[in-house]
Structure 1
Amino acid sequence: MDKGIYLLLTQVTVIIHFAFILFVVAGGFFAHKNRWIKVIHMVSVAWAIFAELSYGVVCPLTAIENYFGYHAGLSTYQEDFITRHLIPIIYQENLSPFIQYILVGIVIGINLIAYKIRWKQSKFNS
């Protein structure tokens, strides 16, 4: 395949990865609309917490990004917007375990608030 196709696939994978992270952080605000979204969201949050706190666990999306990026000829971050701006958000370097626990706590806190708001709204609407 052409390197341009691999570059496009790398960018699409990074966007999906970023969307997954956004879903983990804020998906609880949208999960009330469908029971399956709640289930998918809770499993996604559990996976994200496990992956963040477990040494050596690599997200499958990371492996896919690396595969496509390698075939696209990307060895370092390029001048491309997606690669330059989204990848540092997803792959933050030099995070101490303390900061990782803080980030996990923030994600859990945001989702507890989201589910509490939705639970109260459903309680008042019934």
Structure 2
Amino acid sequence: MIYRLVGETAMVVHFLVLVYMAFGGFLAWRWPRAIWPHAAIAAWGLISVTTGVECPLTIVENWGRHNAGLEGLRPSGFIDHYIEGVVYPEEYTTAVRWAVAAVVLSSWAGFVLLRRRARTPREDEAVSGTR
């Protein structure tokens, strides 16, 4: 029972990490310090996609599933097991990866623009000469 719980918890956390990877940069628009954990998660995602290194959450999920007597994930990993062919057809993998990259870059661009706007004096302050 506990092993299955470990595996299922790892699966849920993995889904949350993927959502945060794609959309977490938008949280930094409201909470600027959120950009650092998002940058770390996005960097991990980039490393994982480009090198094929296995995610620690996949390892934990497989460990829990195997010890619970269940079948592990496909050797290709979490995304191939739960998302590709389920959420979108496998032939769209490259397009989906580029779309996620565009969303991440858009969130970061918005973050930079908002930070610059917050640092520059307002027009009414510049006109009156006060700061």
**In the alignment, is residue 104 of structure 1 matched against residue 63 of structure 2?**
no
* Backbone CA RMSD of aligned residues: 2.4
Gaps of 5+ in 1: 78-86
Question: 1:8 is matched with which residue: 5, 16, 19?
Answer: 5
State the match for 2:37 in structure 1: 40
Deviation of 1:95 (Å): 4.0
Q: Deviations over 1:13-40 (max 9, x none)?
A: 11111111011000110124143x2122
Gaps of 5+ in 2: 74-80, 120-131
Identity %: 24
Aligned length: 108
- The alignment's TM-score, normalised by the length of structure 2, stands at 0.69
**In the alignment, is residue 61 of structure 1 matched against residue 54 of structure 2?**
no
Deviation of 1:46 (Å): 1.6
* Contact 2:10–2:57 (Cα < 8 Å) also in 1: yes
**Rg comparison, structure with higher value:** 2
| C-alpha separation in 1, matches of 2:46 and 2:90 | 15
Deviation of 1:69 (Å): 0.4
State the match for 2:69 in structure 1: 73
